[in-house]
Amino acid sequence: MSSVYLPAKSQSNALRIFEALFSIFSLIHISNAITPLILTKGVNEGDGVDISTFDLSINAKISILIYLTTWLLLTVRWKRTLSVLSRNKLIWILMGVICFSYFWSVNPDQTLRFALYALGTTSFGLYLAIRYTLRQQLSLLGWTYGLLLILSLLLVVAIPQYGLMAGVHEGALRGVFTHKNQFGAFMALGSVVFFLNAIRGEKLSWIYWGLLALGCGSMVMSQSTTALATFLVMLMLCIIYRIFRWRYEVMLSAILAVTIIGIIALIWVAGYIGADSFFSSLGKDSTLSGRTDIWGYVWDQIQLRPWLGYGLAAFWNGYEGPSGYVQLAMRIAVIYAHNGFLDIWLSIGLIGLSVFLAGFLITSRQSLALLRKSNTPEGFWPLLLLTYILLSNLTEGTITTMNSSFWAIYVAVSYSLVIAKKNYYVIEK
């Protein structure tokens, strides 16, 4: 693989190596990989085991350690941190809404805990943007997703009862994650990262081509056609940009057209091919009706608290509290809305969702401006990431609590675009 770029020659080699290893380790951990699978002893969906009975406190302690280290590293660069921090106010307004949701939360303790995670994960994303350029971030992500993929395949060979799912999703590859859908979601984005690193044509690009082939094969083995469809849409966008190099206005129209077609295709796949096999366990056919039923019941609950929501991560609590309405209506355990935007609305209301969407649109505009200026893989990376976030949150939820690696990467890209804008989109500065 291409080496991770580590600037600041005045710093010691030990510190540079530590920061690279810390970044990769943190990205793996906040991806909810490895540790949760070990702590839950490889339990499968449909086993009838209540996951809340497992002691997952060590996972939380590792997260807190990562956040403390992140804040220390930001403090070391306090001048640059302060100068960059104020350039993306909407992210911190969103964090303010999240923190204040404690006061109207139906589960204040849960909201307080997840608000801390959201602040820590957002800070880690800020650290990535301050410490690494977009090209360096792509390199770090290549190492991270490469390790996750290789470890997943090794686990399938060494301990198949952990690496493969049983029960409802018999034989589906989940690797170092607790569920096949998690693995598929990470490999969809990971395969794009492999592709972007591979097309640089550097000396070891063949390794990324190999990882791309393994990633695509693994997505098929995970039986997650949603993930595969999402990856194909993003790959199509990248090919359109790389091959045709149309005028900006024509290219923008093509990007929007492919994205809209991709959204329609993804919903069709999720509905009629059974992308997640979620409803097959109910004895239903694989139609969109299961998801739309959940969305309908969720919408009923949103209307009760449309502006402020129920507090971050406070709504879904089994048969207790407001989620009991959805559970009883569906007659099965439902732990999220199967739509990331609805989940954000549930958590922090229309006010919070509006702040997020405003920031998302501004970041989209900046990513298009970068795309217009740059003919490099990292120039196209922000738009691909935003496409992934849009598609992956239509039928699933990858950023709903703002404490996943997807959220950290989004924050890093958002701040990197702000930095690039100041440098007139010279992204290596």
Q: What is the pLDDT of residues 236-274, one digit of tens each?
A: 877 776 655 555 556 566 666 666 666 666 666 555 444
Is the Cβ–Cβ distance between 2 and 202 less than 8 Å?
Answer: yes
Q: Which of 278, 274, 275 is nearest to 286 (CA)?
A: 274
Rounded CA separation 137/130 (Å): 11
pLDDT at 17 over 50: yes
For the ranges 45-59, 68-82, 232-246, the one whose mean pLDDT is highest: 68-82
Read off the pLDDT band of 417 (50, 70, 90): very high
Angle at CA of residue 7, ends 3 and 8, nearest 5°: 150
Q: Do residues 125 and 139 make contact, with C-beta atoms less than 8 angstroms apart?
A: no
Q: State pTM to two decimals.
A: 0.90
Burial class from Cβ neighbours inside 10 Å (0-12, 13-18, 19+) for residue 200 reads middle
Helix, strand and coil percent figures for the chain, each rounded to 5: 70, 0, 30
- Token look-up 């740059």 returns 374
Give strand pairing partners of 173: 164
Q: Where does 101-247 have alpha helices with state H?
A: 108-131, 134-158, 160-163, 180-198, 205-221, 225-244
Tell me if 129 sits within 8 A of 363, measured CB to CB: no
* Top-confidence residue, 4 or 232: 232
